Amino acid sequence: MKEEEEMISEAPPKAATFLDYPATKKLQELAKNPIDLTKVGTLTPQRVKSFRVDGPSLSILYATERVNGETIDALYQLAAEANVYDWMAKMQGGEVINKINGVESENRSVLHTAMRDFFEQPNSSVLAKEATRLAKLELDKLENFVKATPNFTDIVLVGIGGSDLGPEAIYLSLEKYQKPGRRAHFISNVDPDNAAKVFGGLDLKKTLVVVISKSGTTLETVTNEQLARSYFEKAGLDCKNHFLSVTGQGSPMDDKSRYLESFYIWDFIGGRYSATSMVGGVLLAFTLGFDNYLELLRGAQQMDKNALTKDPKKNLPLNLALLSLWNHNFLGCPTTVIIPYSQALSRFPAHIQQLDMESNGKHIDRQGKRVSFQTGPIIWGEPGTNAQHSFFQLIHQGTAIVPMEMIGFMNSQYGEDLNVQGTTSQQKLLSNLIAQAIALATGQKSDNPNKGFEGNRPSLQIIGKELTPYTMGALFSLYENKVAFQGFIWGINSFDQEGVQLGKVLATKVLNLFGGAKREEYPLGAAYIDELN
């Protein structure tokens, strides 16, 4: 009996889960009666001034969220109870956090932040410092390559998922900074029309193609690469002089006989977190210039440092994570809409959609157990003001509550504007951002129910002075670290993506049927092919 008692006393304590935290229970109580933003005297100028957090080149204004001081204190308590500061330090320090205890998993470090740590070498692990050293080697290689390739005018990126969405979002956001005579193009969809449209308008003699795949075997990318090569071969050009690869060292694409240059990425960088690595770096340095690419990395690195801040009132990514979590887990809102009031950020919501949903769309925790609460929300969005004339009707008067994250800048990028009827276009843009936030929060009473707005529709505003390479880097890092913080609080692994694998396996089975495999090898797939025909 004594031996049994000793075994019990030595057993490790059960790991606390999201629902176990005292702060969670407190927030559940607070959510039963959240602040009423429609009540006269609630949304005041003083509240707008007080409910904000400032960080590197960006600020978050959240007066139009359904929170008060007590809610914010409880959210900060939740962050502390979930040890998010330690988890963030472990991530940026290179500890192995991409794992699920007790089951087979990737079991890796998560070191996308090391790709921009060479400005200020942090106090981190040997692995993190080695990752930074490797990143610097690739950066030097890239700088030399860009200097040595003056005669090319166009670059085509061939990739999919994280190898496409992030780089394209950054490129489009910073087209104003592109070097004269340099353009970028993107091929991701295995639809052959995508490639035909891109290559149909290019001078191939002056075109580079950068093919991105960590494994070197991604089906869509390998297929699109061969299709791309066929255009050069038909034009009588040697592909070796036009094709670059970004891949894992030693992969099938790490082949000097087939590529003009190969740049490396590593297992500790997830695809959706890879845009500031060579995955985006090759295209961005070529089109925007190497110095502007460095500015992007500096902005990201400064926001990474901000994410390590243990004062929650100064930690921008943590506040963004907590406010989103309040809406999702405690107010019961299943989706979040991203509305950039900047046409340059037209593809940014698509990037955040992948970043967030692929990271936190998980139903098991770090112990391999099924969670009993909601994890990642559904992310979607489009630029304002276009979106106001599209789906804002539902957000204002629909039955679903859709929290909104608005992004805006005080100044336009190009500085080309016109005063029309007393105000500039940029002022009109910002006026719409402010007006929508107020309208969603306060609503409108009317005797005509068709003109009534219930209000209490939460939103926050992410504001910067101007969309520059530095600010764009900070914005990317802001959301990367937001997603990580939420995963830490929920106790899930935000850094693998097993959910994409099953579809890939079945797609290969169906593809084999098209290639001549016997129908009995996958009869269900064969039945669908019959119906399509």
How would DSSP label each residue in 340-404? ES-GGGTTHHHHHHHHHHHHH--SB-TTSPBPSS--SPEEEE--TTGGGGTTHHHHHHSSS---E
Instruction: Note the pLDDT tens digit of each residue in 453-463.
Output: 999 999 999 99
> Is 117 a residue whose pLDDT tops 90?
no
Instruction: Note the pLDDT tens digit of each residue in 70-97.
Output: 999 999 999 999 999 999 999 999 999 9
> Is 120 a residue whose pLDDT tops 80?
no
- Looking at residue 501, what is its pLDDT? 77
- Looking at residue 7, what is its pLDDT? 36
- Looking at residue 3, what is its pLDDT? 43
H helix or E strand, kind and range, residue 215: none
DSSP for residue 528 = H
Instruction: Note the pLDDT tens digit of each residue in 425-443.
Output: 999 999 999 999 999 999 9
Task: Tell me what the mean pLDDT of segment 52-58 comes to.
Answer: 97
d(CA 69, CA 277): 39
> Is 503 a residue whose pLDDT tops 50?
yes
Instruction: Note the pLDDT tens digit of each residue in 267-289.
Output: 899 999 999 999 999 999 999 99
Instruction: Note the pLDDT tens digit of each residue in 165-224.
Output: 999 999 999 999 999 999 999 999 999 999 999 999 899 999 999 999 988 888 889 999
Instruction: Note the pLDDT tens digit of each residue in 256-266.
Output: 999 999 999 99
The pTM of the whole model exceeds 0.85: yes
Q: Is 197 annotated as catalytic?
A: no
d(CA 134, CA 277): 11
Residue 184 pairs in a beta bridge with 155
For the ranges 123-127, 227-231, 297-301, which has the lowest average pLDDT?
123-127
From the candidates 10, 389, 416, 520, give the one annotated as an active-site residue: 389
> Is 11 a residue whose pLDDT tops 50?
no
How many C-beta atoms surround the C-beta of residue 74 within 10 A? 24
Domains in the chain: boundaries: 18-93+309-411+425-492, 108-298, 500-532
- Looking at residue 506, what is its pLDDT? 86
d(CA 153, CA 331): 51
From the candidates 256, 445, 504, 518, give the one annotated as an active-site residue: 504
Protein fold of 108-298: Rossmann fold (3.40.50)
- Reported as a pLDDT band with limits 50, 70 and 90, residue 2 is very low
What are the tokens at 334?
């299943």
d(CA 62, CA 133): 39
- Reported as a pLDDT band with limits 50, 70 and 90, residue 6 is very low
- Reported as a pLDDT band with limits 50, 70 and 90, residue 14 is low
Q: Is 104 annotated as catalytic?
A: no
Task: Tell me what the mean pLDDT of segment 383-389 comes to.
Answer: 94
From the candidates 65, 95, 261, 358, give the one annotated as an active-site residue: 358
- Reported as a pLDDT band with limits 50, 70 and 90, residue 1 is very low
Q: φ, ψ for residue 121 (rounded to 5)?
A: -65, 115
d(CA 448, CA 209): 59
- Reported as a pLDDT band with limits 50, 70 and 90, residue 8 is very low
d(CA 450, CA 447): 9
Q: Is 358 annotated as catalytic?
A: yes
- Looking at residue 123, what is its pLDDT? 55
User: b/e string for 129-167 if b means 16 or more Cβ within 10 A?
Assistant: bebbebbeebbebbeebbeeeeeebbbbbbbbbbbbbbb
- Looking at residue 122, what is its pLDDT? 52
Instruction: Note the pLDDT tens digit of each residue in 299-335.
Output: 999 999 999 999 999 999 999 999 999 999 999 999 9
- Looking at residue 461, what is its pLDDT? 98
Strands (E), 73-206: 96-98, 108-109, 154-158, 183-187
- Looking at residue 300, what is its pLDDT? 97
Share the mean pLDDT of the chain: 93
Task: Give just the sign of the alpha carbon dihedral 21, 25, 30, 31.
Answer: positive
Closest of 173, 160, 166, 169 to residue 347, by C-alpha: 169
Which residues, including other chains, have CB under 8 Å from residue 243's CB and lie 6 or more apart? 208, 209, 210, 211, 225, 228, 229, 258, 259, 260
- Reported as a pLDDT band with limits 50, 70 and 90, residue 505 is confident
Q: For tokens 């707008």, name the residue.
A: 48
- Reported as a pLDDT band with limits 50, 70 and 90, residue 511 is confident
d(CA 244, CA 239): 9
> Is 125 a residue whose pLDDT tops 80?
no
- Looking at residue 9, what is its pLDDT? 36
Work out the burial of residue 52: count CB atoms within 10 Å of its CB; fewer than 13 is exposed, 13-18 middle, 19 or more buried: middle
Q: Answer yes or no: CATH 3.40.50.10490 is held by domain 18-93+309-411+425-492.
A: yes
State the first-to-last Cα distance of the chain, in angstroms, to the nearest integer. Answer: 71
Q: What percent of the chain has pLDDT over 70?
A: 96
